[in-house]
Amino acid sequence: MRGKSIMATPPGIFISFEGSEGCGKSTQIRSLRARLEAEGGAVLVTREPGGTAIGEKIRHLLQHDDDGDAMCPETELLLFTASRAQLVREVIAPALAEGTHVLADRFLDSTTVYQGIARPLDYDAVVRVNRFAVGDCLPDVTFLLDMDSEAGRARAKAREGLRDRMEEEPPEFYETVRRGYLRLAEEEPARIRVLDADATPEMLAERIWKTLNDCFPHGLSR
C-alpha cells in the first residue's frame, strides 16, 4: 500500500439550482455557500454558460449580437452544451474528485427546459445532446425554485444577463418554462426537489438546508 492513501478523499456533493428568471438561485447559492464553508467544506460555484476560458467566449457569443446575426435554436443548443462539456471536464469533475462541493447556477435541466421544451427543438434530440455533453457528471441534488413566472420576471427585471441578446418572450414562454421544470421534477423526484420560492430568502435558505441534510443524513461528506 506504500504511496497509496488508505483513506481516499470522499467526493464532493454536486448541487444544481434551477428555475425561471428571478426565482432567487444566485441569492440561495450565496447563502448555501456561506453555510457549507462555515462547516469547513470547500465550495465551488459555477454559472452557465462560462466558467472556463472557452466557456466565456461561448458566453459572449450567446450574450451579444455584435453583427446583428440571428442565432438559430440549434446553434444556441450546441453552444450551451459545448460550454457545459468544457466546464464539466475542466472544472466540475476535478473539483468533485478532490472533495469540493459544487453549487451550479443552472446545469443541464436549463437546456432540457429552455431548448427542449420552450424552444421549437426536438425534445429527444436535446436530451441526447445534453447527456453526451455531461457524460456521467450529473447533480446529486437539484433545487427547483418554483414560483409564478411573472412574479419572478418582475424580480429579475433590474438585472442584466443573457437576456441582452435573447428577445423578450411573451408571458406564455415563461409559463411553459415553469411547467417544463415541474414536469422534469415529476419524472425525477429523487433528484429534483421542488421548493416554493415565493418566500423570504431566509425561509428558503432554511428549507434548502433541511432538504440537503435529509438527503445526506450521515453528513455532507460522503
Q: Segment near ligand Z5A (CB under 6 A), from 2-10, 89-97, 193-201, 206-214?
A: 193-201
Task: Give the residue with the Cβ less far from ligand Z5A, 11 or 86.
Answer: 86
As measured in angstroms, the least distance from the Cβ of 199 to ligand Z5A is 6
CA distance 155 to 161: 13
Q: Phi first, then psi: give them for residue 206, nearest 5 degrees.
A: -65, -40
- DSSP H helices, 88-122, are 93-97, 108-113
Provide the minimum distance between the beta carbon of 99 and ligand Z5A in the complex, in angstroms, as a whole number.
26
- From the list 35, 57, 155, 191, which residue makes contact with ligand Z5A (rule: CB under 6 A)? 155
Our CA angle for 70, 72, 73, nearest 5°, is 140
Q: Please give the residues from 162 up to 181 whose contact with ligand Z5A meets the rule CB under 6 A.
A: 162-163, 166
Residue 100 φ then ψ, to 5°: -85, 135
Binding test (CB under 6 A) with ligand Z5A, winner from 52, 110, 142, 149: 110
C-alpha cell at 205: 435558505
Q: According to CB under 6 A, which one of 12, 25, 102, 195 is a site residue for ligand Z5A? A: 25
Name the H helices within 114-166. 123-134, 149-156
3-state secondary structure (DSSP) of residue 103: strand
Among 38, 200, 214, 217, binds ligand Z5A (CB under 6 A): 200
Which residues of the chain form contacts with ligand Z5A (CB under 6 A)?
21-27, 48-49, 80, 106, 110-111, 114-115, 155-156, 159, 161-163, 166, 199-201, 204
